[in-house]
């Protein structure tokens, strides 16, 4: 049910044509808000938002957050940044600039407008963790000069900027640390394990597992994650975050591969390749804070979410 007109907000979503950004915009539009989607389409796709064109409450701006943006809005969700290793390592300098300059530009806008701003941070700030599961008070174990550092350290610096703007200028901030998320609208060649496995299984190719497959990840379905975004954004000002948002269910890569093969009915085999540099051996969120402060936890089981994602990939016409 849409909100009443009196509670309608004008909301900016950077990276809104991306996988998560487009799902967030769908939710916001469903609540009756006006949404400005800003995206340079480096990894985002017009396909993800084409169903919204023609809606008088939706506006698309082709814009790079490395440059200032002058708009009048009530809230900002800053999601702009390549999020998969294939994409963020393609141009690592640009990745760091997007995280850092993007944060500076959006925080400057929020300061001028005196509006609340949300930062999509990442579990990658924990690096290859020495603490398991990861809590928000863990400072991480990150290689600052590795091939993943453009993303890991870029996001860590963005968090620093958000909290300094909050302390120095009183900007109303919300910071979420996103753990592995999957669902429809993932790009089939983004290099993430879920999209890799599904694409390979549907094509009858070997499923590539890096290392021995014992490394673990936790997988959160996109709808659950976006619900966490909205709950955090609507929480009291004193809850700035960071707040872990992810599914605490932990699966090895071998287990994930088996589930994808079962759901697709594929006869593909599993092929092992060397483990990439600085690849985390385990990743699992402690979501105690999200449960207590937001009343949030994921609801979609992995098998159900994978089935929906596989259906999307089957219909994907590249």
Helix/strand/coil for 66:
coil
Cα 88–chain centre separation: 13
pTM (2 d.p.): 0.92
- Give the DSSP per-residue string, 196-226: HHHHHHHTTPPEEEETTS--EEE-EEHHHHH
User: Are 28 and 3 in contact, with CB atoms under 8 Å apart?
Assistant: no
Residue 86: per-residue pLDDT = 74
6 phi and psi angles, rounded to 5 deg: -65, -25
Show which residues are catalytic: 151
- Mean pLDDT over 113-134 rounds to 94
In whole numbers, what is the pLDDT of the chain averaged over residues? Answer: 92
pLDDT in tens, 33-73: 999 999 999 889 999 999 999 999 999 999 999 999 999 99
Strands 220-221 and 270-273: unpaired
Is residue 317's pLDDT more than 80?
A: no
User: Are 46 and 71 in contact, with CB atoms under 8 Å apart?
Assistant: no
d(CA 272, CA 266): 18
**Domains of the chain (ranges, CATH numbers):** 5-182+222-246+286-299 (3.40.50.720)
Looking from the CA of 65 toward its CB, the CA atoms found within 13 Å total 34
pLDDT in tens, 8-35: 999 999 999 999 999 999 999 999 999 9
Residue 74: per-residue pLDDT = 98
For 299, other C-beta atoms within 10 Å of its C-beta total 12
b/e string for 114-132 if b means 16 or more Cβ within 10 A?
Answer: ebbbbbbbbbbbbbbbeee
Residue closest to 237 by CA, chosen among 155, 138, 115, 137: 115
pLDDT in tens, 207-227: 999 888 888 888 999 999 999
Here the tokens at position 65 are 């957050």
């Amino acid at each position: 049910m849409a909100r009443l007109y009196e509670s309608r907000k004008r909301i900016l979503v950077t990276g809104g044509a991306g996988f998560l950004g487009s799902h967030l915009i769908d939710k916001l539009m469903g609540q009756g808000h006006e949404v400005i989607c800003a995206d340079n389409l480096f990894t985002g796709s017009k396909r993800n938002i084409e169903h919204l064109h023609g809606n008088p409450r939706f506006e698309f701006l082709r814009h790079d957050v490395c440059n200032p943006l002058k708009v009048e809005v009530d809230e900002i969700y800053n999601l702009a940044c390549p999020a998969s290793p294939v994409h963020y390592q393609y141009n690592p300098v640009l990745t760091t600039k997007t995280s850092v300059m993007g944060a500076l530009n959006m925080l400057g806008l929020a300061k001028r407008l005196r509006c609340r701003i949300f930062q999509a941070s990442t579990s990658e700030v924990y690096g290859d963790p020495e603490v398991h599961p990861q809590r928000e008070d863990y400072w991480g174990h990150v290689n600052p000069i590795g091939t993943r550092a453009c993303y890991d350290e870029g996001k860590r610096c963005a968090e620093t900027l958000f909290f300094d703007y909050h302390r120095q200028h009183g900007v109303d901030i919300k910071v979420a640390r996103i753990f592995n998320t999957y669902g429809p609208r993932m790009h089939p060649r983004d290099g993430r394990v879920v999209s890799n496995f599904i694409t390979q299984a549907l094509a009858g190719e070997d499923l590539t597992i890096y290392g021995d497959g014992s490394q673990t990840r936790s997988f959160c379905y996109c709808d659950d994650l976006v619900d966490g975004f909205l709950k955090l954004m609507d929480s009291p000002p004193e809850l700035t975050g960071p707040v872990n948002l992810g599914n605490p269910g932990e699966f090895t890569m071998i287990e994930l591969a088996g589930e994808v093969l079962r759901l697709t009915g594929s006869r593909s085999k599993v092929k092992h390749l060397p483990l990439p540099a600085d690849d985390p051996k385990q990743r699992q969120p402690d979501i105690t804070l999200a449960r207590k402060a937001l009343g949030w936890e994921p609801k979609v089981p992995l098998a159900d979410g994978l089935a929906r994602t596989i259906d999307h990939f089957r219909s994907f016409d590249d």
